[in-house]
Each structure stands twice: as structure tokens, then as C-alpha cells.
Structure 1
Amino acid sequence: MNTSSEITDQCEICCEESKKLYQCCQSKKCSLCENCWSKIILSAIEKGQISSLFSGTLMCQSCHQPIERNELPQDIQPQLDNILLTIPKTKNPKSIEEFNYAYRDSQHLRHCITNEKFIFLSQRHYNLLGSCIDTYIQSLMKNNEWNYRELWLPIKEDNTDDHHDQVNIFTSNDFETNENGCLILIQGSGVVRPGQWARSCCINESLDIGTMFPYMAKAKEHNLSVIILNPNQTSYIVEKSVDIDDTLPTNTEMNVTNEQKSHEVKDNQTENHPDEMLIDYYLSTRPLPCSTKEKIPNLSTSREHVLYVYDNIISKSPAKKFYIVAHSAGGDGLMYLLRKRQDKILSTLSKIAFTDSVHSILPFEPNEIKNFLKTNAIHFVASDKPMGESIDRAYDFSQGSICEEVSAGHPKHEYTSGHCVEGVFKFFFPSDNNICTTKF
């Protein structure tokens, strides 16, 4: 890329005259002003394609040649340098600060230097950051503000610090003593872990939208204990590798080509690499090396998880009433629980709130379950209508909805739980006059 001398020329995009144009080749078709180059870079960022500039694969739309990052206008370079600072200096980051990100106002993820929002580089970079966010959120749940207890399942007779073959869930510190009521939170499928509704919202929006914290706070207001399930983590790592994503199917893990295997050997070498090698590692489009995993006994599926937690933990709670919020695939796990433990759970179950949930009524569903759902359940669905407004949706086979359906107040699935919290608790407690509340 060449820079012209102090002459006035015309930018090929905006047609404005400029004393300094920047080219990605010898053709004047690619001569652009600094402002237009800034817009091109901004567009690449917004489309999640900025990593292609760093890897030398972002093409000029005029000459179809790679744009050389180092030849871009100097005023753009600091912005690009700050983006590269979000690449950790290790292949095994443990904290979000290693990505130069932080929840500085306790709610929004921001760049530690520029205070800008998260910028997507690659799925690999995103997944590793997401894992650190999992750790951060759970550390908040265990700190002095919440003081939640971490329980490991399946339950073992001997106390141990080795939990590699177990899955964690969380309870409020009054779970074993609170007789007033208990709130049960069940997230959907995917990479989310206890305390989260949606990882993408925790990264791109706020913790208020992406986490369960607002529900935990509302539970305090209504003197409810809380238990948070973890139905997605159904396996444990036998042979550890860099890949910490627990959602890849087994057949995908086993179908590794020779080329992928050679990449894995390179990826698992010592971490003391030059910066360029780390940049290549985090910008790679290859999936992370797959760990060897085995299923957790008695919790090998999300349905098994929900049933095990009910039988071994929830059923022992002294709470007189239970309230459940089930998001997405969490609704399927809840329906499975109702079918398997109908005689035990319905007598103490007060209300259910589904949030853009995956659930259905089977042809042979007991009338007790159907009648309970009709009168004591509500479904907040993704919609651009105001939160709480009635929704009339078409169903296959003229089956109809199993309960009242209203708008969650947002059209995107992953945002629903975060936007309908007020509606959920209004449904749970139409009037607070009969509710014993405690100030904290």
C-alpha cells in the first residue's frame, strides 16, 4: 500500500478531495481517504470480520487483493493495536482480565483500556473468554453479596476436593432452613453454566440481561431460597486438553482428521510463544482440540440431571411452596420431572414460568399435569410486543398452548429471560400483601 505525496486527489469512494490517499495496490481504484478506510475497518468490526485483517485475508473490494494492516492510516493503528490486546498471553487463560476485558461497572463487559464493547475475533477466542466469564459469574455467586453454596453431584460419601467427575449446582445459604418458599432456576441448553441464561448476553449486553442475578434478587425480596441447576454439564474430562467447551457431540469429537490431529499437536505445545504465534492461535478458525470425556453417572442427560437434583436436593428442602423458572430446553427437563414425580411435586408446586421454552404436552399426559399447567403456568415467548401482552400463536395438529402465553418483551430468544423478570414475579405474586418479605 502506497501513500501519495502532498497533492490533491479524489477518494474513489466518497469522491472527496484529499491530500493523502491510501492504496492497497498500484491501481488508483483503491485510493481511499482516511475517513473511508476508517469506515471499512468499522464495518469489518461490526460484521465480526476484523480478524481477517490481522490474518491477511481481508480483501480490497476493488482489486481483490489482501489489505495490508501496517499500511493503513496511522490514526487507525492504535484502534487495531487495542483490539489485539484482547488476545491473552497464554493459551489457557483463567480470567477475563487476561483478555483485557472487565465488568468495570459490575454489569457491562468493557475493554480495560478503551472502555469499548466486546469485539468478536474468532469462535476460539469467544469460547475461551466465555469460559472465563463462567468462572467470574460463579465467583460472584459465592462472594459476600450472594454467599451461595456450591454443591457437587453426584453426592459422594467422602468429602473431597477433587470434583473432576462431578457437576456443580448452587443454592442460597438459606436453602436448608427457609420454610417460606423456594425458587428453582433451570437454564437452557448449550454452553451456559449455573448463574447464566445466555452467554452472548453476558458478553454483548449486560449481566442484568444475561445472568440470573435479577431473579436471585427478586427471590430475596420475597423471602425465597434459591437453587440453580446445571443440566448442560453432563460429562467430565478424562484427558484434559485446551478445549473446555462441553457441548460438542461425541461423534464429532471422534471424527478428527489427520490434518486436525497435526494442528492439535502444534496447539498443545509450550505456551511461551512469540506474540505472533499467540495471535495465530486465537485467530484460528479451527476448533479447539477435543478433550476425551465420559458421562457423569446418574446425570448423563439434562433430564437425568433435573430428576437427580429433585430427588437428592430439592425434595429435602423445608420450603412449603416451590416456584420454577425454566428457559428454553430447561422446559423439557421440567416437563420430564413433572411426569416422573407428579405425585410428589404437584402438591407443593405453586407456579411455573417458562421463558421461550421448549416443552410440549404428550397425547397421554395425565390430566393432573395438564390442569395444573393451565391454571398455574405462564409462558413468556420471544416477541417485539410489550412485555406481558397476550400472544396468540398457531400450533401444529391444533394442539394449542399448554398454558397462557405472553410476550417476554424482546424478539430474540436469548434475551427473553432477562427482559421478563418483572412479569415473572408479577405472575408468581399478583399481590405482595400475603407474602412474607425480608429486607437484606
Structure 2
Amino acid sequence: MFIRPRKPAPEPHVRHTLSELGYEFDLTSGKLRNTSTGEPYEYNTYGSDKKKNAELYQSLLAPASRDVYRILVESDLHMEPIAVPDSRQPHCNIYVTPGGLSQKHLVVIVTGHGVNGGVWAWNVLVKEGLRAGSVIEYVRGCVQRGYGVLVLNPNENIVATDGFPETFNTYVGHSTPIHGSETPDEHVGFVWSRIIRGSLAETVAFVTFNTAGIAVVDLLKHDYAQFISKSVGIVFIDSAHSTFKLEREALGWLRLAAKQWENSAEPADSLVENDRVGCVAVSAGNSSDCRELVPIACMESVLEYISSCFERGLIEDPLDGEISDDSVGAVDFSGAEPGSDTDAIEDLAAIDSIQVVQPGGHVVDDGYIGWD
């Protein structure tokens, strides 16, 4: 007789903090360091013991990522959390600089696949530190130029049983989907339609990394009229997007208002051929084998490009002599109709969901069935 083996019960989820693990970020150097010895974290902490080295490294990934939220709020940036969809139900937080939604120019930063908000890559954050592994230097550079900044959180799509948001990569067990943020694309769409589109910011520029480019191109595809009336440019950093099913007008806007920084060791900002992305592509000048270092490699060039987009302003007619039928090619122009406008958000205080995540909230069904 065949006896089916029992599946082992999942181990209880334990959420450690960095300090409980004996580590902290040195805010001067940005490096992760041991609180007992003061020494920077090294992967080979236990010498030739590969198992213990790997276990320590894995244990630090999630706590270090969550600590970025604390630094965004408690550092000189003084960013403020906004609960999405709202604090009355399971939610994640996005982060905005003080008065950012009311400033003339707003930069929206969207990180790529799997990571917590504000983190480019877990491995880079732990091994290299805050400067290369998080969006903090990007935020600081934008603030110094007088721009508001909004950091999205596309990968915290579920809430654990203790009421805290998690990514699918960091949590196994019973969870509750976050309404309006069930997927990264839905999160970006929800924040665009409910917060960014109706904000007092006159112009918006997006900075996207890896898969985040897909979600922002979807905004251009499905809400074209509203998108180009507010957005002046998109920065793609090693983006995974394509121009599939973009209509001619959207293709024209993308060609004029977007730029891709490729993971390439070619000289920084030199042209790189990439027909997939629909815009100029240049090298990030990343000489490392680690492609997750692309954001920090091209940061200064990206910030300069964002400034040029704001100086140029909105592109009202992207097809006015800038793109020909031949250059469009055999693209399927079956895009969706633009979405409707939303009421303007007069001030950050008007968003009643600004709260740090609190466990134990109850679900409120507001009838939300889509971001538009």
C-alpha cells in the first residue's frame, strides 16, 4: 500500500530587526556594520564555513531592506509614509518628501522585481550599502534640485497574519492580498490614478528599474491622454519593458520623452542599440559583473536627464514632425481609451491614509475594481 508522506508544517515566520541580529547601517558610510565590533559586514564572516556565511547573509536581507523605510523617515530626508490603499485595511506604505505632492516638479521612483520599496537590490544593499543598494542617494539628489519625490512600493502585495506587509519573496504562509496592490502593475496603476494624477505637481518624471518599466509603460498605454498631460519623461534603468501594442502617439511620446540606461561596460552615456525599448538607449558604464549596480553607475546622468525633462516641459504633440509611419513599423495600435480625470489633491494633509503600518486593521470594501 502506498502511503503519501506528510508535508511538514511550515515554520512560523519570525521577523527580526537588524539590531536583533547585531547589525546596523552606518549612516556616514552607508555600510552595514556589526554593532559589537564596529566592522563592516563581510560575506565571509565565518571564514571557510560556507553554510554559516550563507545563513547570516540570508538572515540580513529582509531586515536590511525594511530598515531602509526607517532611514527614509528618520534621516535628513524626513519622508512621510502614505498607506496604500488606506490605513483602514491591509496596506503597504509608499513614501513622499515633505510637501512633495504639492511641488511643481515630482519625481516618482519605482523599483524592480521582488524587492521592498526603496531598495534597488537586496544583495547590493547588504554587501555594498545604502548608496548603491537603495534609492536614498537618488532621493537626496532630487531634493537638492528642488523636486518632490515619491517612492513607490510595488512588491509588497500581501499582509502577513501579524498585520505587516510582505513580499512574496520574503514570506511563506497565510496572507491577505493588499487591495489595489495585488500585483506590481496594479500598485503602480492605483498610485498613479488615486494620488499622482490628481496631485498639485505640475509635471512628473518617472525613474524605473528593471521590471518597473513595464508597469509605467502600461500607464502610457492605458491612460495616454492623462499621462502625457502630466508626465515629462521616463528614465528606464536596465528596463524589461517593450513597445508591444503601444499606439502611434504613445510610441512618438516615448521616443521623445524617455531614455534607457543599459547594463553595459561601454563608456558611460555612449549609444547602445536596443530596438525593443522604443527610445534612445545608452550605456550605464557598469564595468562590474553585477547588473544590480546599474542604478548607482548611471545616477548622475539620470539626474541630469530628469532636470532636462523638467526644463523642456510637456510634449503636447509627439507626432509633430518627429516620427514617421516608416519608423512606427507594423505595431498593433489596439490600445485602450484614456481614463477619466480625478479631483486634485490640494495638500498632503488631504490624504487621510498617512500612517505607519499598524497591525490588526479591518478590511474595508470600497468597491475598487481597477486603477482607472
TM over 0.5, shorter chain:
yes
The one-letter code matched in structure 1 to 2:19 is: E
Change (3 A) 1:176 1:323: closer
Change (3 A) 1:196 1:219: same
The one-letter code matched in structure 2 to 1:428 is: I
C-alpha deviation, 1:146, in angstroms: 1.1
Which residue of structure 2 aligns with residue 390 of structure 1?
271
- Relative contact order, higher structure (CA 8 A, sep 6+): 2
The one-letter code matched in structure 1 to 2:149 is: V
**2:303 matches 1:380:** no
**2:92 matches 1:171:** no
**2:220 matches 1:366:** no
Change (3 A) 1:309 1:240: closer
C-alpha deviation, 1:125, in angstroms: 3.9
Which residue of structure 1 aligns with residue 59 of structure 2?
128
C-alpha deviation, 1:135, in angstroms: 2.7
The one-letter code matched in structure 2 to 1:365 is: L
Alpha-carbon distance in structure 2 between the residues aligned to 1:245 and 1:236: 6
Deviation sequence 1:382-421 (CA, Å, 0-9, x none): 111222121124xxxxx55411111112153211112111
Change (3 A) 1:195 1:93: same
Which residue of structure 1 aligns with residue 18 of structure 2?
96
**2:125 matches 1:247:** no
The one-letter code matched in structure 1 to 2:152 is: L
Deviation sequence 1:49-107 (CA, Å, 0-9, x none): xxxxxxxxxxxxxxxxxxxxxxxxxxxxxxxxxxxxxxxxxx94643233222323341
Deviation sequence 1:89-143 (CA, Å, 0-9, x none): xx94643233222323341112331614332636554343222212321111111
Alpha-carbon distance in structure 1 between the residues aligned to 2:180 and 2:166: 21
The one-letter code matched in structure 1 to 2:264 is: S
The size of the alignment, in residue pairs, is: 290
Which residue of structure 1 aligns with residue 283 of structure 2?
407
What TM-score does the superposition give when structure 2 sets the normalisation length? 0.71
Alpha-carbon distance in structure 1 between the residues aligned to 2:118 and 2:276: 32
Alpha-carbon distance in structure 1 between the residues aligned to 2:309 and 2:148: 19
Identity, % of aligned pairs? 21
**2:191 matches 1:309:** yes
Deviation sequence 1:233-256 (CA, Å, 0-9, x none): 111224789xx96224xxxxxxxx
1:175 and 1:317 in contact (8 A); partners too: no
1:111 and 1:118 in contact (8 A); partners too: no
2:84 and 2:93 in contact (8 A); partners too: yes
Question: The residue matched to 1:169 in structure 2 has which SS?
Answer: strand
Which residue of structure 2 aligns with residue 200 of structure 1?
123
Alpha-carbon distance in structure 2 between the residues aligned to 1:123 and 1:367: 49
Match of 1:418 among 280, 292, 296: 296
**2:161 matches 1:292:** no
Alpha-carbon distance in structure 2 between the residues aligned to 1:420 and 1:296: 33
C-alpha deviation, 1:427, in angstroms: 1.6
Match of 2:33 among 87, 110, 120: 110
**2:307 matches 1:429:** yes
1:188 and 1:326 in contact (8 A); partners too: yes
Alpha-carbon distance in structure 2 between the residues aligned to 1:240 and 1:320: 36
Alpha-carbon distance in structure 1 between the residues aligned to 2:134 and 2:239: 17
1:303 and 1:337 in contact (8 A); partners too: no
Change (3 A) 1:167 1:432: closer
Alignment of 1:249-264 (within 5 A): none
What TM-score does the superposition give when structure 1 sets the normalisation length? 0.61
C-alpha deviation, 1:431, in angstroms: 9.8
Alpha-carbon distance in structure 1 between the residues aligned to 2:112 and 2:311: 33
**2:212 matches 1:330:** yes
Which residue of structure 2 aligns with residue 280 of structure 1?
none
C-alpha deviation, 1:206, in angstroms: 2.2
Alpha-carbon distance in structure 2 between the residues aligned to 1:227 and 1:245: 20
Q: Structure 1: where are the runs of 5+ without partners?
A: 1-90, 249-287, 394-398, 436-440
1:188 and 1:197 in contact (8 A); partners too: yes
